[in-house]
Amino acid sequence: MALPKQRHTRHRRDRARRELEMTPTKTVTCPKCAAPILPHHACPKCGEYRGRVVIKKALPKLVKAKKAE
């Protein structure tokens, strides 16, 4: 099994680890429903993009509660 002849410096180690660092996703708010959305994407809640409806959303179905017998 190969072994390193010299150890890497802290700077070199940390620079390599910085490449694996995760960054938070950039989001903007929907102007109609104020939901967080990705830029240049249609809103998954209301289906609008740039003031136009591009995804038709169905109205939520009313679920009747079952009566306890």
Instruction: Phi first, then psi: give them for residue 48, nearest 5 degrees.
Output: -100, 150
pLDDT by residue (tens digit) across 11-62? 999 999 999 998 899 999 999 899 999 999 999 888 899 988 888 877 666 6
Q: Do the Cβ atoms of 48 and 30 come closer than 8 Å? A: yes
Distance CA 37, CA 28 (A): 5
Question: Is the pTM above the cut of 0.75?
Answer: no
Q: What is the pLDDT of residues 29-38, one digit of tens each?
A: 999 899 999 9
* Number of CB atoms found within 10 A of residue 42's CB: 17
